[in-house]
Structure 1
Amino acid sequence: MRTLVVGAGATGGYLGARLLDAGRDVTFLVRPRTAERLALEGLRVRGSDGTTTTHEVSALTADRLHTARDLVVVAVRGAALASAVGDLAPAMGPGSQVLPLLNGVSHLGALSGAFGPDAVLGATARLAATLLPDGTIIEQAPGAALEIGRPRGPHPGTTSSTRSGASSRSTA
Structure 2
Amino acid sequence: MTNKIIPRKYNLSRIRAKFFSCLARKMPFIPGEMRAMIHSFTGVKFESASKTFVGEDVYFDSVRPQLITVGKGSRITEGAKILTHFLDQNFPDCSHFYEGSVSIGKDVFIGINVVIASPVSIGDGAIVGANAVVTKDIPANEVWGGIPAKFISNRESPVPV
- TM-score calculated relative to the size of structure 2: 0.27
- Of the two structures, which has the highest relative contact order with CA contacts closer than 8 Å and spacing of 6 or more? 1
Point out the structure with the larger helix share: 1
Higher strand share: 1
